[in-house]
Amino acid sequence: MTYLKMVLFALMVALETVIDWIRTFIRRWIVDTCVDKIYSISVVVGSGECNAKCRHCGGRFLRPGALSGVQGTIKGLESAIILCKQYGGWAISLTSSGEPLMSPDAVTETLREIDRLKRMGYGMAFVNLFTNGFLLTDQRIREHYLPLWKSLGLTAVAISIHDVDYARNRECYNVADEVAIPTLAEMVGAVKDAGLVPRITLLLHRGYCDNPVDYQRNLDALRDLGVYMVTSWAMCKPNGEWNQYSPSRWNLFRIRFFLWANCPRVFNQIWGGGVYNYHGLSARLTTYVSEHKPTNNFIRQLVVFQDGTVAYSWFQEGNFCLKG
Ligand code: SF4
């Protein structure tokens, strides 16, 4: 029975792929569509300094443009938010070319600007901060910054992990023995204590969480920790190509099949993947945000870089909607 279901799922995936090819082909030749929707904004903040040394680090490509640890990303933000809002977007993600919690004043300045725009009528429903979480239990972060950021409109903190298992996660971050990393329970507790929503980015990483058994084990453990929003994508090169850190295509297919066969689907994402209800936990399987396809009639994410450039994607030359 499971085998038959898997064949059916494979046929559906193949059909979806063929439809996507046909749609892309038609759009390439028929110029009757423009951008209808911009879903969200990513803002690069902080100095680019990081307390981890991941072998797979993609942040290093962005570091040449990093600001100081106190200067928020302000230039370009107003245009990006107004544009995204007018095209129906609803979320802002604060990220960094390093670890944003190492530049808390820059995060504060950026959030102040987002709050100012909100007061002008350009508020976004969700403002998320992406972090490796190591500093979430630091006294100053916990007692001063997290409550301050909440008062400036931050809604959720998304902690990136490679596995709920402490040792496996630590191994991926490749930190020196003397670097203290709190447990995931402590990180989640700090976020909850500040009245913010904890989210987890569970990376699908070859040799770590890269198959349905480990994926399900992680979801169960996260639900036990009181985390109800988990997003996953396969690690890959910044341009979206597979590399040595990516799970095998077969294992990724099996993870997709596990969600499809066992969990009610909440909604699809136009760029691929979807959101599923895993026993009350929202499990989102998505793709790495990288290049923008010119044949798409949507922008998945506007990116605000620290020099004020607003771009249609992360890693493509010339893909700008604002550049000084
Ligand atoms: S935590 Fe992020 S920025 Fe820091 S080394 Fe790892 S991938 Fe790079």
The CA distances from residue 244 to 175, 222, 232, 263, 289, in Å, are: 20, 26, 17, 29, 18
In short, whether 129's Cβ falls inside 6 Å of ligand 1 is no
Task: In whole angstroms, give the CA distance from residue 110 to residue 103.
Answer: 11
* Entry pTM: 0.92
Which portions of the chain are predicted below pLDDT 50? none
Angle at 156 between CA 59 and CA 164, to 5 degrees: 70
How does pLDDT run across 167-205, given as a tens digit for each residue?
A: 999 999 999 888 889 999 999 999 999 999 999 999 999
CATH superfamily of 35-317: Aldolase class I (3.20.20.70)
Query: Measured in angstroms, how far is the CA atom of residue 140 from the centroid of ligand 1?
Result: 22
- Return the closest-CA partner of residue 94 out of 256, 80, 82, 85: 80
Do 251 and 303 form a contact (C-beta atoms < 8 A)?
no
Ligand 1 centre to CA of 212 (Å) is: 25
pLDDT for position 124: 94
CB 322 within 8 A of CB 310: yes
Residue 132 in contact with ligand 1 by CB distance below 6 A: yes
Domain definitions of the chain by residue range? 35-317
Residue 315: predicted pLDDT = 72
How many angstroms is it from 313 CA to the middle of ligand 1? 20
DSSP letter at 71 equals: -
Q: Which residues pair with 310 in a beta bridge?
A: 304, 322
What is the distance in angstroms between the CA of the first residue and the CA of the last residue of the chain?
Answer: 59
Of 45, 47, 49, 50, the one to substitute when testing ligand 1's pocket (max ligand atoms within 8 A of C-beta) is 50
- Report the amino acid identity of residue 201: T
pLDDT of residue 31: 63
- Residue 295 · residue 30 · CB < 8 Å: no
Among the listed residues 100, 122, 93, 89, the one whose alpha carbon sits nearest the alpha carbon of residue 52: 100
The predicted structure's pLDDT at residue 316: 64
In this predicted model, what pLDDT tens digit does every residue of 89-133 receive, in sequence order? 999 999 999 999 999 999 999 999 999 999 999 999 999 999 999
